[in-house]
Amino acid sequence: MAAIRETWNSRTAFVLAAIGSAIGLGNIWRFPYVTYENGGGAFLVAYFICLFLAGIPLLMLEFSIGHKFHQAAPGSFKKINPRLEWFGWFAAGVGFIIVTYYAIIMAWSMNYTYEAATLGWEQEEGKYADIQYAIAETDLEDMGVLTEIPDSLLGRGFVSPVSADQSIVCDDPEDPEGYGTILVAFGGHLYGFNSVDEANTFMGSPGDFFFNDFLGVTSSPWDMGEFKWPLFIGFTLTWICIVASVWKGTKTVSKVVYFTVLIPWGLLLLFVIRGLTLSGAGSGIEYYLTPVWSKLMNAKIWLAAISQVFFSLSVGFAIMIAYGSFLPKKTNIAANAMIIGVADALTAFFGGLAVFSALGHHASSLGVPVSQVVSSGPGLAFVAYPHIITTLPAARIFGVLFFLMLLTLAVDSAFSLLEAVTASVKDKWKTSHRKSNLIVGGIAFLLGLPMLTGMGIHILDITDHFMNSFGLTLVVLGEVLIIGWGTGAEEQRHYINKNSSFNIGIWWNICIRWIIPMGILWMIFSEIQQRTVPYGSFGIRSQEFVFGWLLIILLPIISDLLANSKGTSEVE
Ligand code: PFF
């Protein structure tokens, strides 16, 4: 049954929609913290190499697959070989899991528009005046903290992740001052300070607000903590926005993107300028831009870089295949891919400038190195940006605008995924657009609910790590093997050239056939081998690790079930 496929209103609408999908929280929220975690400058170098050798060639590949087969991912791979339909579902499944936690970050942003309006992260004076009492009250052992305080933890205003397996115990937790340091443990973190004043400066900060008041973070992913009802409201509104944006298909998308792409760019620029003019910003920028070349020998950095590139370009999610399938016959695949890749990377680079200047400013006010200023991880953006916002005149207005910007940036990424999965469902079962949207959005909503509790950020962090490091990379590996070695890179390159304003050379085949698969295999194997040290604050053989792998293994099984279930066209 050859239904007439929706197409984009215009080329600009397509480019903006694809840019809208690419540019999102990945640039402003994820890129800065992954860069911070991986040592700044060196990561940046790896990132740009991966962008040009893998990201952009893969965008061309995904657009051309969708354009050629005129189907979303499962239908396209089925056309290549009926036995490959499951692989298309697998790609959509990885994207689907990602959107379940992506919507949580959107909910944080939604609620932070309110916090910004009231400057909620500015804590009451002397909140921790009774800090020593707080320490005595904290059951350190119970939190899996402390045997012996390592030298590295003795100092000023640093934060260090503490895990259950890192049994550090204070001889006398009642008397931490015996060590010349004030220690406070919460949220799986141990904080050390020299004086109550110092502790108050740091603890009463946006970081403290975010982790403790806003999220109520617990010490492990197995400790549920409190269900945060305010977040539930933000989360529900978030999903309503996502579903509403695609209610009428590509026609609404074509209009929404003008607002969700262009306005955020202006605001981001403002934040960069303000960030760079803060005192102490230079040290943050230096950390961001100075590469330590020796770090490039480490496969871990490359895996982080390549998976960040995939995440950021929405490659390996089945999204760009679906978007390619909505393209009209006459199109320009190579140029579109270049524009989207470069625009996306520039936005990430600017997001990094804003965050690192804020980190530099914060570090210099605390007198600590940039590398130790905050606990990295998914909370970084929600700690760093408020630091900039607070220093702006009319802070509340800019704060509200900033978090609205995050939301608008994220909404078109989230709905691109919804569109991709919905298009797959529609292709197979011929369900109506609205029904498919509600089903897909509804399931994603339910899966996100556990992340609204105190353990939410832990689950999010683990899922994010596994889905990016292994989910996206495995999808891409499959794509380049199927096309590069199966149907033929040369044939695909001809197809791209036939549908582009300029020709891409043989280098594209080399990337698809050799560089990308060999690179990914090297990174994944070294990562697995190196994983004798904990991931973040979690140990390799711990339950968290099992949870991560379980997700990766379950997905192909579910995908196979979906592929083997009867589609509507097959019944007819
Ligand atoms: N490219 C998006 C970003 O950088 O934010 C990543 C993304 C995540 C796209 C989740 C779609 C999605 F559902």
Centre of ligand 1 to C-alpha 35, Å, is 17
Give the full edge-to-edge strand order of the sheet including 189-193: 158-161, 189-193, 182-186
Measured from the Cβ of residue 226, the count of other Cβ atoms closer than 10 Å reads: 12
Which pair of structure tokens corresponds to residue 526? 């070294």
Give per-residue pLDDT as tens, 178-224.
Answer: 443 455 544 445 555 555 555 555 555 777 788 888 998 886 777 88
User: Is residue 108 a contact partner of residue 231, using CB atoms and an 8 Å limit?
Assistant: yes
User: Is residue 359 a contact partner of residue 36, using CB atoms and an 8 Å limit?
Assistant: yes
Centre of ligand 1 to C-alpha 472, Å, is 12
Measured from the Cβ of residue 367, the count of other Cβ atoms closer than 10 Å reads: 10
Distance between CA atoms of residues 395 and 387, nearest Å: 10
- pLDDT for residue 134: 38
- Across residues 281-297, what is the average pLDDT? 92
Q: Which atom number of ligand 1 is nearest to the Cα of residue 27?
A: 4
Answer yes or no: is pLDDT of 174 > 50: no
**pLDDT band at 157, cuts 50/70/90?**
very low
- Across residues 534-563, what is the average pLDDT? 75
Distance between CA atoms of residues 500 and 18, nearest Å: 17
Say how many Å lie between the first and final Cα of the chain, rounded.
9
In the block, tokens 């197979």 appear at: 428
SS3 379: coil
Distance between CA atoms of residues 209 and 5, nearest Å: 48
Q: Minimal CA–CA distance to 318: which of 199, 183, 478, 182?
A: 478
Cβ-based burial of 2 (10 A; exposed 0-12, middle 13-18, buried ≥19):
exposed
**pLDDT band at 569, cuts 50/70/90?**
low
DSSP state for residue 222 in the 8-state scheme:
T
Mutation to probe ligand 1, out of 19, 23, 25 (largest number of atoms < 8 A from CB): 25
What residue owns the CA closest to ligand 1's atom 11? 413
Answer yes or no: is pLDDT of 35 > 60: yes
What residue owns the CA closest to ligand 1's atom 10? 99
- Across residues 154-178, what is the average pLDDT? 37
Which pair of structure tokens corresponds to residue 18? 């694809």
Distance between CA atoms of residues 88 and 560, nearest Å: 10
Q: What is the largest CA-CA distance in the chain?
A: 78
Rank 29-33, 171-175, 252-256, 363-367 by mean pLDDT and report only the highest.
29-33
Measured from the Cβ of residue 568, the count of other Cβ atoms closer than 10 Å reads: 13
**pLDDT band at 145, cuts 50/70/90?**
very low
- pLDDT for residue 263: 78
- DSSP H or E run through 58: helix 56-69
Q: What is the 3-state secondary structure (H, E, C) of 26-38?
A: HHHHHHHHHHHHC
Give per-residue pLDDT as tens, 112-140.
Answer: 999 999 988 886 544 544 443 334 334 44
Measured from the Cβ of residue 113, the count of other Cβ atoms closer than 10 Å reads: 18
User: Is residue 310 a contact partner of residue 319, using CB atoms and an 8 Å limit?
Assistant: no
Q: Which atom number of ligand 1 is nearest to the Cα of residue 416?
A: 11
In the block, tokens 């209103």 appear at: 9
| Category of 290 on φ-ψ map: left (φ > 0), alpha (ψ -120 to 50) or beta | beta
User: Comparing 163-172, 192-201, 213-222, 434-443, which segment has the lowest mean pLDDT?
Assistant: 163-172
Centre of ligand 1 to C-alpha 29, Å, is 11
Cross-strand partners of 183: 192
Cross-strand partners of 190: 160, 185
- pLDDT for residue 192: 54
Answer yes or no: is pLDDT of 173 > 70: no
Centre of ligand 1 to C-alpha 87, Å, is 20
SS3 227: strand
- pLDDT for residue 370: 81
Domains of the chain: 11-119+229-564 (1.20.1740.10), 131-203 (no CATH)
Q: Which residues line ligand 1 (CB under 6 A)?
A: 21-22, 24-27, 95, 98-99, 102, 311-312, 314, 317, 413-414, 416-417
In the block, tokens 């962090």 appear at: 461
Distance between CA atoms of residues 148 and 170, nearest Å: 5
Q: Which atom number of ligand 1 is nearest to the Cα of residue 319?
A: 11
Centre of ligand 1 to C-alpha 102, Å, is 7
Q: Which atom number of ligand 1 is nearest to the Cα of residue 31?
A: 4
CA angle 531, 532, 536 (to 5 degrees): 65
User: Is residue 346 a contact partner of residue 124, using CB atoms and an 8 Å limit?
Assistant: no
Answer yes or no: is pLDDT of 69 > 90: yes
- pLDDT for residue 190: 55
116, HSE (Cβ side, Cα atoms, 13 Å) = 29
Q: What average pLDDT does the chain have? A: 81
| DSSP codes of every residue in 159-215 | EEE--TTS----S-TT-GGGGTSEEEEETTEEEEESSHHHHHHHHTSHHHIIIIIIS
Which pair of structure tokens corresponds to residue 32? 């800065």
Residue with the bigger pLDDT between 87 and 430: it is 87
Which pair of structure tokens corresponds to residue 16? 């903006």
Cα-Cα-Cα-Cα dihedral of 379, 382, 387, 388, to 10°? 130
- pLDDT for residue 169: 31
Which pair of structure tokens corresponds to residue 215? 């999220």
Q: At what angle do helices 250-276 and 11-22 cross, to 10 degrees?
A: 50
375, HSE (Cβ side, Cα atoms, 13 Å) = 24
- DSSP H or E run through 79: helix 73-80
Residue with the bigger pLDDT between 312 and 121: it is 312
**pLDDT band at 330, cuts 50/70/90?**
confident
- Across residues 265-279, what is the average pLDDT? 88
- pLDDT for residue 341: 96
Answer yes or no: is pLDDT of 89 > 90: yes
Give per-residue pLDDT as tens, 450-502.
Answer: 999 998 988 998 899 889 989 999 999 999 999 999 999 999 999 999 999 99
- pLDDT for residue 571: 39
Distance between CA atoms of residues 316 and 507, nearest Å: 21
- pLDDT for residue 237: 97
Rank 55-69, 527-541, 548-562 by mean pLDDT and report only the highest.
55-69
Cβ density class 9-39: b for 16+ within 10 Å, e for less: eeeebbbbbbbbbbbbbbbbbbbbbbbbbbb
- pLDDT for residue 144: 37
| Category of 121 on φ-ψ map: left (φ > 0), alpha (ψ -120 to 50) or beta | alpha
182-186 and 189-193 strand pairing? antiparallel
- DSSP H or E run through 342: helix 333-366
